[in-house]
Structures are given as structure tokens and as C-alpha cells.
Amino acid sequence: MRRIIQGLLSIGALGAVGFLIMTAPAFQRLIFGASPPAPPGAADLANGRTLFFAGGCASCHATPGQTDRLRLGGGLALHSPFGTFHVPNLSPHPQDGLGGWNLDQFITAMHEGVAPDGSHYYPAFPYASYQRMSAKDLADLFGFLKTLEPVEGRARPHEIGFPFNIRRLVGGWKLLNLDGKVFTSVAERSANWNRGAYLVEGPGHCAECHSPRDFFGGIVSAKRFAGGPNPEGKGIVPNITPHRDGLGGWSREDHARFLKTGETPGYDQAGGSMVSVIKNMAELSDADRAAMAEYLVTLPPIAGKPVTAK
């Protein structure tokens, strides 16, 4: 019996060591590859502004209760099945925001979900999509963020129960849901389609809300974009694939108009959290919205939650 117990303890110890190794950011860089290096040269602030709105940064990081969408003091509460996440300060404040960060730290956060102190970020921060962004675009975005007003104050700590409050477990989630791949163009598709694919799959992170999640909170790949329960627990996020359950009757023009005005082909208006998304998308160029529309109409049609579900 003693030998059995000793054997079980040894197996448990080896398992614990293996878990600590496999969930360490340094080890995961060996699997997924390191984040792309910071590019040389000055940031393109106009492009950074475009990516800021394409990425929906204001929707989560703008200080609640005020109208300036560029005042990024954080504090918004995001409710989820795992607990409540409080969105951090994204302003260039030197202590409370990103003012003390360098570009490499920002790229690492966006690609790997790893903080400057080496800890894992929770995937309420949608780095599983942001990992598709190029280093140049991230440099431009970081440059734009640095031009905004510093806002004092930090968000309150996340309210997450055991065992989800153990951040090291996020490393296990990453093994299942990250691949470290930057977006690459599809040669058989047009430049416009590729631009749309990049915006939808990368900075726009549309699949993060419009897809069902598995038990561990990862996107169910077979149902990507097919809608599902609202991550915040209220209602349904609709299917946006070209299936009859989704947006199968929508044309490219319908998509582009909706992204600009929030008006559907049936003359309804976007509601809920999509109102904020439309405000962001309205800041993009007509060409970028048209590119997103061109990509969206080519998504695989998948049966899912009907677009009319509330």
C-alpha cells in the first residue's frame, strides 16, 4: 500500500510539474512561436485610429457614465459564466494605464495574452482574435493610443470564483484555443475580400460574440459565426452566416449599410451591445465596410441561432 501511495504521489507531482511547464508563457512560445517583433519607423496614426474603432476598443475600455469615447479609463463590468471581469484602463496614464508600456509589451499582450509582469490575461480580452493582427498594425494602434488623454484610476479586481481565479489555468485554455498565427492572405481571393477577412477575423473579433462556446469557454469551431447564448447571460447573439437561420438573404450592400447605420434590410435597427459596435464601424471607411461585407457573404452557411432571436 505504501508503494502504491508513493507511486500515486510521484505521478501527481510529475503531473503538477508538467502542468506548470506547459502553461508557462515561455514554454507556450516554443509551441506557438514568439510574437512578431516591433517594426521600425513611426506609427501611422490614421491607420491606428481605424484599427482602434475596428477593434471595438472604445466599447469596452471607455470610462462608463461619460460621453467621450476616447477617454479610456476602463471600469466596465463584463459578466460571464465564469464571473465578472472589470475592464482595465487603456489610456496612456503612466501608472494606471499603458503609459509605462513599450511596443513589444503591447504586441505580446495582443498576440499572446500575456501581461508585462508575465501573467496570463483572461480571454475576456479577445486576444484569440487579435493574434491575427500584423505587428505593423499593432504598432500603429499603440501609437494612436499613446495620443489619447491619460485617465487616472484603475478598475476594481475581477470577481471570479475558484478555480477560475487561478490565472495559471488560462495557460491550459490557450493550449486549446490559440495557435499564434498572424493572418495570411488567401491567394485565390481578391484584395478586397482579404481585407474584409482580416478585419472580421482579427481586429473586429466578430466571432468572439457571434459563436457558441464550449464548456471551457472556447469557440466551437464547427459553429463559428452561427450565434449562441449571449456571453453576458442576456438573450441570444444571432447567427450571421448566410444560412436561412442567419443573414442568408442579405446582400453585400445590406451588410455594408448595416455596419454604417445599424439599419437592417427590413428597416429594423440594431439593438443591445450591437449599437456600440455600429458606432465603431461607422468610423471606418466605406471601402473597409464594403470589404467586410464581401467577406461576410462568403462565410459557410451554418444552421444556428436565428437572427431574429431576442
Per-residue model confidence (pLDDT) at position 24: 78
Tens-place pLDDT, residues 46-102: 999 999 999 999 999 999 988 899 999 999 998 888 889 999 999 999 999 999 999
Per-residue model confidence (pLDDT) at position 310: 39
Per-residue model confidence (pLDDT) at position 21: 73
Q: Grid coordinates 499613446 are at which residue?
A: 146
Counting as low any pLDDT under 70, the low residues of the chain are 1-20, 232-233, 305-310
Per-residue model confidence (pLDDT) at position 66: 86
DSSP 202-238: TTT-GGGTSS-B-TTS-B-GGGTTS-EE-TTSSSEEP
Task: Report whether 81 contacts 233 (CB < 8 A).
Answer: yes
Q: Is 309 helix (H, G, I), strand (E, B) or coil?
A: coil
Per-residue model confidence (pLDDT) at position 307: 59
Q: Which three cell numbers stand for residue 131?
A: 493574434
Per-residue model confidence (pLDDT) at position 306: 67
Task: Report whether 212 contacts 223 (CB < 8 A).
Answer: yes
